[in-house]
């Protein structure tokens, strides 16, 4: 039997697991319908239909008939026809992709109204004003989103109508005013779009469906998807839903609600309600809403029912849900629900709260948070003791402490941030056109709108600081300034500070203090202690869940005792990479310079002799800080020129001395040596194991320092666990030579000190050849540590120091990759080499220890990959250790 595609699902046919096909909104409308909740009847057109439309430019041939069949069924059920003159069925046409993209795509309400049916609606509703208000909204939305008319033109006309009448808000316009407005709107459509506003309801509906399909590919939707890493080929579903009206008078209204506070996670009554209004009014922050709790006084029956439904939804979804609802003349309708976005702090709190309520287990709790959220909680906050001048307070919409120059439009935000300025985007309210400005800004401040306004929702999604609805601030975007209470004027470019956790707005730059989560990791704040807040408690518990679950161990990249101790406090289980070149900076650089430039054996030995005790002392400190835990010390790796004077600078010095006829013998000698050692491509030149092979005594000095330091720690009853790591090996022969020399030195130190040291010797895998011959290399290595920075550089042929600044933006824009391969491991290329090298190494040596120490070791997505390919540990910078622990736990669930 041939497969017949089904492009349309009635709300009674779907369920919450069909998000790929029905989008998030459609899947959840179906789920609520099947839960028996009051959802206005309707149907969903699938993302598959959208994909066909976007690929071919035409809707799939079968779609029209399917839509007709579902529309028929809907009309029968409602007992009226779409746009019927005496009693019209009206529908909304709403977008809904798999992942929520707040305000990014299109919605058209009140489809089915026309010059004729507006009268029928007026009669049926017994309310002429309402009918004309609905009609003007349809022409406005349809004109803007379907016919591409500049929305400002409608807004301005509405403003003019209010001014002419001398009123403040749209509810004060009467039926006659709105009728006039409809005429004006229709004229605008005709002149701007070159066609009449369509009077045929089915034509309205079909055009709106196409407009929703098309809205998948608007610039702002594409930008949002890139930002949120949402794939570009998913398409959107379209929901056609019978209309219910919140604008039928004071016993009607519309609102949004959360089953818990999306900022703190606390259970309670959270949301906003707007009487006598339609949905878009709330989200767009057009009029000021009242707190949801007030609904109890306005309409107790609906309020009670809503509370009941919210409980049903939480128990069903086992998570925070957000909800859009409408009350039509005292009857409650559910228009949308989904598992709600939340702040990073709330995510941790909600996860532990749900565990305590017995709704989810630890494993599930770990899926409710992620490393990016934890990283966000580790950012500093404003110093509460600082004497800052507070000039306003809005709603704490998205946490964080942001300082920057005030700018009043997105264009300036983008321009200034490109030139390196930190900016705060200040707007009366934001709309989807502000997206690039919001991305560019440190934080967002608005004077209107609630927790569910566009600015708040989008900022939370991006993890960007946001204060919204700071009403006492008078934002004047035209004159690019803001007047604060007391009359002070903040001009474009003046520095302000905003606190997204308290909603406070300050003039000037407020100093910041460390986050409580960092204080906790540092051991300066204890869960359960008086000063510990709920957040610290929740993080503490989630870390314990993760540590119990994870198989991967987590080590630190650290080169000094201070970093090592911090890493230990943050939960590091050893050091995975000590870069010894970092020990040769400052005064010691000169010693290395002398070593490199030595003409005679004696000179070279002299500088090695001086370096030895310095290195030894470094290692003693490090082994002490990490007592009992492994410390992988990498022998010197970087290209030599990093230790030599700059060739141009030196040439100038020599030329100057020459022209002044001053003595310059030493400079000249140095210059000649620098010329001799100069490389076109130092990253592929004399570095890593190659240094050890051509500079006699260098690696053996380092090995001796490690061995003697370990012996000293043992003598002091310590437990040093040093591992010696050889960088940039390409063939087992290199490793064998260095290894033989090292073994000999270690034996000498063991004999001299009478201690058995048990120093493991291993190598980095950071060249393709090393990965490809890993089976051979494992014969001479007790461990591998994947250097995925260099491995990415050499596998792709990308210079790690240059490409991110030069052409990666273009690559990202063209979608060649979604994220830099230096940030997240390229699974298919670099990752597959890691996987096969790990397998080959283990088949030679089953107890081969495997780790990774490139930057990817602290990247959430990469950690999951390393877990999957069976590495033993990841190593990352101290501050990323908690993130790696959490993600390793998540990966193991």
Q: Is 431 in the site for ligand PEP (CB under 6 A)?
A: no
Q: Is 787 in the site for Mg ion (CB under 5 A)?
A: yes
Q: Rank residues 302 and 580 by Cβ distance to ligand PEP and give the closer one.
A: 580
Report the C-alpha gap between 441 and 419 in whole angstroms.
Answer: 12
Stretch that binds ligand PEP, among 39-47, 444-452, 670-678, 786-794 (CB under 6 A): 786-794
Say if residues 670 and 645 touch (Cβ distance below 8 Å). Answer: yes
Say if residues 710 and 633 touch (Cβ distance below 8 Å). Answer: no
Q: Is 577 in the site for ligand PEP (CB under 6 A)?
A: yes
Give the contact letters, 747-766, x = binds to Mg ion (CB under 5 A), - = no. -------------------x
* Active-site residue, selected from the candidate residues 70, 241, 454, 867: 454
The residues in 619-648 that bind ligand PEP, with binding defined as CB under 6 A, are: 637
Vertex 264: Cα angle to 262 and 269 (nearest 5) = 65
Report the C-alpha gap between 119 and 86 in whole angstroms.
Answer: 7
Q: Pick from Mg ion, ligand PEP, none: which does 248 bind, CB < 5 to 8 A by kind?
A: none
**Residue 249 assigned as binding residue:** no
Give the contact letters, 483-522, x = binds to ligand PEP (CB under 6 A), - = no. ----------------------------------------
Beta carbon of residue 811, minimum distance to ligand PEP (angstroms, whole number): 21
Q: Pick from ligand PEP, Mg ion, none: which does 202 bind, CB < 5 to 8 A by kind?
A: none
Q: Rank residues 503 and 851 by Cβ distance to Mg ion and give the closer one.
A: 851
**Burial zone of 723 (CB within 10 Å; 0-12 exposed, 13-18 middle, 19+ buried):** buried
Report the C-alpha gap between 462 and 456 in whole angstroms.
Answer: 10
Shortest Cβ contact with Mg ion: which residue? 790
Size of the site for ligand PEP (CB under 6 A): 10
* Active-site residue, selected from the candidate residues 466, 468, 853, 876: 853
Question: Residue 137's closest CA among 336, 284, 329?
Answer: 284
Q: Rank residues 413 and 853 by Cβ distance to ligand PEP and give the closer one.
A: 853
Interface residue with ligand PEP among 854, 858, 860, 889 (CB under 6 A) is 854
Q: Pick from Mg ion, ligand PEP, none: which does 854 bind, CB < 5 to 8 A by kind?
A: ligand PEP
* Burial readout 532-551 (b: 16 or more C-beta within 10 A, e: otherwise): bebbbbbbbbbbebbeebbe
Question: Residue 883's closest CA among 550, 633, 579?
Answer: 550
241 classed as catalytic: no
Beta carbon of residue 838, minimum distance to Mg ion (angstroms, whole number): 18
Q: Is 610 in the site for ligand PEP (CB under 6 A)?
A: no
**Residue 634 assigned as binding residue:** yes
Q: Three-state DSSP class for 10?
A: strand
Beta carbon of residue 777, minimum distance to ligand PEP (angstroms, whole number): 16
Q: Is 690 in the site for ligand PEP (CB under 6 A)?
A: no
Question: Residue 25's closest CA among 338, 412, 440?
Answer: 338
Q: Rank residues 71 and 770 by Cβ distance to ligand PEP and give the closer one.
A: 770
Question: What are residue 110's phi and psi, to 5 degrees?
Answer: 65, 25
Stretch that binds ligand PEP, among 271-279, 460-468, 787-795, 859-867 (CB under 6 A): 787-795
Q: Rank residues 92 and 794 by Cβ distance to ligand PEP and give the closer one.
A: 794
Q: How far is CA 479 from CA 40, 160, 408, 686, in A?
A: 45, 21, 9, 59
Helix (H) or strand (E) holding 560: none
Beta carbon of residue 730, minimum distance to Mg ion (angstroms, whole number): 13
Beta carbon of residue 789, minimum distance to ligand PEP (angstroms, whole number): 3
Q: Is 762 in the site for ligand PEP (CB under 6 A)?
A: no
Report the C-alpha gap between 594 and 599 in whole angstroms.
Answer: 9
Q: Is 639 in the site for Mg ion (CB under 5 A)?
A: no
Q: How far is CA 348 from CA 50, 359, 379, 538, in A?
A: 36, 15, 16, 6
Q: Rank residues 454 and 856 by Cβ distance to ligand PEP and give the closer one.
A: 856
Q: Is 766 in the site for ligand PEP (CB under 6 A)?
A: yes
Q: Pick from ligand PEP, Mg ion, none: which does 272 bind, CB < 5 to 8 A by kind?
A: none
Give the contact letters, 55-74, x = binds to ligand PEP (CB under 6 A), - = no. --------------------
Beta carbon of residue 622, minimum distance to Mg ion (angstroms, whole number): 20
Beta carbon of residue 609, minimum distance to ligand PEP (angstroms, whole number): 27
Q: Three-state DSSP class for 328?
A: strand
Report the C-alpha gap between 145 and 142 in whole angstroms.
Answer: 5
Report the C-alpha gap between 633 and 623 in whole angstroms.
Answer: 10
Report the C-alpha gap between 209 and 196 in whole angstroms.
Answer: 18
Interface residue with ligand PEP among 331, 579, 617, 714 (CB under 6 A) is 579
**Residue 260 assigned as binding residue:** no
Q: Is 789 in the site for ligand PEP (CB under 6 A)?
A: yes
Q: What share of the chain is helix, strand, coil (3-state, %, to 5)?
A: 50, 15, 35
Q: Three-state DSSP class for 154?
A: helix
Report the C-alpha gap between 639 and 653 in whole angstroms.
Answer: 23
Per residue, the 3-state secondary structure of 513-574, as one string, reads: ECCHHHHHHCCCCCCCCCCCCHHHHHHHHHHHHHHHHCCCEEEEECCCHHHHHHHHHCCCCC
Q: Rank residues 112 and 854 by Cβ distance to ligand PEP and give the closer one.
A: 854
**Residue 708 assigned as binding residue:** no
578 classed as catalytic: no
Q: How many residues does the structure list for the chain?
A: 893
Q: How far is CA 600 from CA 50, 595, 604, 605, 671, in A?
A: 75, 10, 6, 9, 18
Q: Is 299 in the site for ligand PEP (CB under 6 A)?
A: no
Q: Is 790 in the site for Mg ion (CB under 5 A)?
A: yes
Q: Is 563 in the site for ligand PEP (CB under 6 A)?
A: no
Beta carbon of residue 781, minimum distance to ligand PEP (angstroms, whole number): 16
Place of tokens 């789920």: 31
Report the C-alpha gap between 159 and 165 in whole angstroms.
Answer: 10
Q: At what angle do helices 128-141 and 175-193 cross, to 10 degrees?
A: 20
Beta carbon of residue 213, minimum distance to ligand PEP (angstroms, whole number): 45
Beta carbon of residue 592, minimum distance to ligand PEP (angstroms, whole number): 17
Q: Three-state DSSP class for 251?
A: coil
Question: What are residue 346's phi and psi, to 5 degrees?
Answer: -65, -35
Say if residues 47 and 23 touch (Cβ distance below 8 Å). Answer: yes
**Residue 232 assigned as binding residue:** no
Beta carbon of residue 576, minimum distance to ligand PEP (angstroms, whole number): 9
Structural tokens at position 553: 């161990």
Q: Is 790 in the site for ligand PEP (CB under 6 A)?
A: yes
**DSSP-derived secondary structure for 538-554:** HHHHHHHHHHHH--SEE
Say if residues 106 and 151 touch (Cβ distance below 8 Å). Answer: no
Interface residue with ligand PEP among 84, 788, 824, 862 (CB under 6 A) is 788
Binding site for Mg(2+), by residue number, is 766, 790
Catalytic residue annotation: 454, 853
Binding residues for substrate: 579, 634, 766, 787-790
Task: Give me the residues that bind Mg ion (CB under 5 A), please.
Answer: 766, 787, 790
Contact residues for ligand PEP (CB under 6 A)? 577, 579, 637, 766, 787-790, 853-854
């Amino acid at each position: 039997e041939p497969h017949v595609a089904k492009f349309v699902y009635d709300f009674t046919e779907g369920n919450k697991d069909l998000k790929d096909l029905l989008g998030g909104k459609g899947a959840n409308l179906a789920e609520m319908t099947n839960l028996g909740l009051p959802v206005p009847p309707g149907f969903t057109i699938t993302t598959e239909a959208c994909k066909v439309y976007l690929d071919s430019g035409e809707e799939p041939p079968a779609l029209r008939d399917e839509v007709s069949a579902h529309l028929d069924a809907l009309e029968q059920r409602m007992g009226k026809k779409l746009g019927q003159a005496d009693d019209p069925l009206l529908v909304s046409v709403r977008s809904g992709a798999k992942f929520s993209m707040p305000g990014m795509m299109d919605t058209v309400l009140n489809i089915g109204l026309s010059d004729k049916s507006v009268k029928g609606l007026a009669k049926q509703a017994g309310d002429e004003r309402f009918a004309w208000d609905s009609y003007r909204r349809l022409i406005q939305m349809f004109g803007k989103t379907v016919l591409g008319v500049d929305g400002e033109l409608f807004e301005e006309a509405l403003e003019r109508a209010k001014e002419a009448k001398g009123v403040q808000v749209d509810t004060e316009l009467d039926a006659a005013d709105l009728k006039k407005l409809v005429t004006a709107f229709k004229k605008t459509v005709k002149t701007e779009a070159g066609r009449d506003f369509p009077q045929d309801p089915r034509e309205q509906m079909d055009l709106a469906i196409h407009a929703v399909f098309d809205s998948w590919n608007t610039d702002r939707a594409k930008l949002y998807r890139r930002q949120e890493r949402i794939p570009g080929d998913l398409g959107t579903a379209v929901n056609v839903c019978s209309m219910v009206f919140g604008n039928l008078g004071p016993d009607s209204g519309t609102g949004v609600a959360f089953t818990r506070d999306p900022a703190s996670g606390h259970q309670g009554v959270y949301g906003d309600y707007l009487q006598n209004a339609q949905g878009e009014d709330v989200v767009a922050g057009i009029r000021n809403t009242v707190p949801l709790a007030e609904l109890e006084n306005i309409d107790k029956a609906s309020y009670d029912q809503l509370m009941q439904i919210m409980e049903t939804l939480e128990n069903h979804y086992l998570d925070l849900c957000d909800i859009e609802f409408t009350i039509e003349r005292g009857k409650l309708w559910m228009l949308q629900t989904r598992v709600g976005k939340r702040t990073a702090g709330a995510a941790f709190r909600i996860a532990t709260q749900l565990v305590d309520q017995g709704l989810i287990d630890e494993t599930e709790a770990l899926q409710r948070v992620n490393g990016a959220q934890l990283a966000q909680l580790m950012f500093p906050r404003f110093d509460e003791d600082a004497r800052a001048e507070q000039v306003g307070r809005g709603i704490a919409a998205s946490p964080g402490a942001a300082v920057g120059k005030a700018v009043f439009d997105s264009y300036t935000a983008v321009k200034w941030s490109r030139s390196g300025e930190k900016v705060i985007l200040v707007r009366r309210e934001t709309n989807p056109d502000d997206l690039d400005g919001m991305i560019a800004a440190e934080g967002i401040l608005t004077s209107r709108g609630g927790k569910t306004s566009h600015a708040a929702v989008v900022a939370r999604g991006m993890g960007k600081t946001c204060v919204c609805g700071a009403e006492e601030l008078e934002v004047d975007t035209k004159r690019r300034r803001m007047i604060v209470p007391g009359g002070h004027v903040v001009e474009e470019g003046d520095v302000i500070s905003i606190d997204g956790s308290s909603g406070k707005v300050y003039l000037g730059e407020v100093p910041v203090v460390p986050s409580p989560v960092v204080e906790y990791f540092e051991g300066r704040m204890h869960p359960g202690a008086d000063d510990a807040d709920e957040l610290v408690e929740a993080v503490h518990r989630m870390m314990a869940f993760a540590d119990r679950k994870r198989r991967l161990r987590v080590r630190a990249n650290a080169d000094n005792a201070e970093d090592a101790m911090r890493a230990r406090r943050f939960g590091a289980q050893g050091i995975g990479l000590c870069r010894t070149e970092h020990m040769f900076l400052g005064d010691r650089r000169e010693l290395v310079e002398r070593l490199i430039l030595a003409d005679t054996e004696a000179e070279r030995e002299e500088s090695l002799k001086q370096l030895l005790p310095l290195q030894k002392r470094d290692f003693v400190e490090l082994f002490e800080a990490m007592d009992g835990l492994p410390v992988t010390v990498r022998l010197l790796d970087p290209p030599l020129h990093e230790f030599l004077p700059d060739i141009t600078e030196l040439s100038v010095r020599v030329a100057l001395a020459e022209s002044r006829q001053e003595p310059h013998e030493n400079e000249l000698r140095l210059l000649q040596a620098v010329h001799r050692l100069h490389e076109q491509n130092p990253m592929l030149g004399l570095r890593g194991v190659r240094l050890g092979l051509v500079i006699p005594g260098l690696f053996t000095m380092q090995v001796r320092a490690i061995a003697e330091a370990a012996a000293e720690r043992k003598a002091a009853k310590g437990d040093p666990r040093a591992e010696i790591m050889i960088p940039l090996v390409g063939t087992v022969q290199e490793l064998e030579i260095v290894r033989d020399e090292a073994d000999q030195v270690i034996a000498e130190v063991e004999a001299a000190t009478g201690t058995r040291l048990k120093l493991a010797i291993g190598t980095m895998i950071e060249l393709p050849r090393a990965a490809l011959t890993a089976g051979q290399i494992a014969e001479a290595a007790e461990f591998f540590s994947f250097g995925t920075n260099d491995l990415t550089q050499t596998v792709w042929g990308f210079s790690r120091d240059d490409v991110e600044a030069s052409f990666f933006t273009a690559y990202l824009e063209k979608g060649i990759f979604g994220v830099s391969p230096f940030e997240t491991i390229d699974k298919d290329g670099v990752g597959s080499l890691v996987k096969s090298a790990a397998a080959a190494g283990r088949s030679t040596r089953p107890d081969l220890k495997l780790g990774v120490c490139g930057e990817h070791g602290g990247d959430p997505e990469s950690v999951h990959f390393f877990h999957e390919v069976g590495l033993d540990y990841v190593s990352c910078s101290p501050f990323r250790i908690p993130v790696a622990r959490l993600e390793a736990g998540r990966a193991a669930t």
